[in-house]
Structure 1
Amino acid sequence: MDLSTSAVVFLLLTYHLCEAEHRSYNSILMVSNGGKWGEWGKIEFCPKGHAYGFSLKVQEKQGLTDDDTSLNGIRLHCSTGAVVQSTVGPLGKWTKITECPKGYLVAFALNVEAPQGPGDDTAANNIQFNCGDGTALEGRSTDFGTYGRWSKRCTAGAICGIQTKVEALALALGDNTALNDVRFFCCD
Structure 2
Amino acid sequence: MDLSTSAVVFLFLTYHLCEAEHRSYNSVLMVSNGGQWGEWGEIEFCPKGHAYGFSLKVKEMQGLTDDDTSLNGIRLHCSTGAVRGRHYHIVFFSFSRLGKWTKIKECPKGYLVSFVLNVEAPQGPSDDTAANNIRFNCGDGTGLEAMSTDFGTYGRWSKRCKAGAICGIQTKVEAYYEHLHDNTALNDVRFFCCD
Q: Common fold, TM-score beyond 0.5?
A: yes
Work out which of the two has the higher radius of gyration on C-alpha atoms and give 1 or 2: 1
**Residue 33 to residue 64, structure 1, CA distance change in 2 (3 Å):** same
Secondary structure of the residue aligned to 2:18 is helix
Give the secondary-structure state (helix, strand or coil) at the position aligned to 1:160: strand
Unaligned runs of at least 5 residues, structure 2: 1-13, 81-87
> How far 1:156 moved relative to its partner?
0.2
Equivalence for 1:33: 33
Distance 1:156 1:170 in 2: 40
Query: Do structure 1's residue 53 and structure 2's residue 60 form an aligned pair?
Result: no
TM-score by length of 1: 0.89
Query: How big is the shift at 1:85?
Result: 2.8
Contact 1:40 1:166 in 2 (8 A): yes
Which residue is equivalent to 1:135?
Answer: 142
What is the CA-CA distance between 1:66 and the residue it aligns to? 1.2
Q: How many residues align?
A: 175
Residue 175 of structure 1 pairs with residue 182 of structure 2: yes
Cα deviation for residue 15 of structure 1 reads 11
Structure 2 SS opposite 1:142: coil
Kindly state the Cα deviation for residue 23 of structure 1 after the two structures are TM-superposed.
0.7
Q: TM-score, normalised by structure 2?
A: 0.86
Deviation for aligned residue 1:170: 1.6
CA distance in 2, matches of 1:66, 1:31: 29
How big is the shift at 1:172? 2.9
CA positional deviation for 1:18:
3.5
Which residue in the other structure is 1:24 paired with? Answer: 24
The answer for unaligned runs of 5 or more in structure 1 is: 1-13
Change (3 A) 1:144 1:43: same
Indicate the RMSD between aligned Cα atoms, in angstroms.
1.7
Deviates more, 1:153-162 or 1:173-182: 173-182
Is this contact kept in 2: 1:29–1:154, CA < 8 A?
yes
1:1-188 paired onto structure 2 within 5 Å: 18-80=18-80, 81-188=88-195
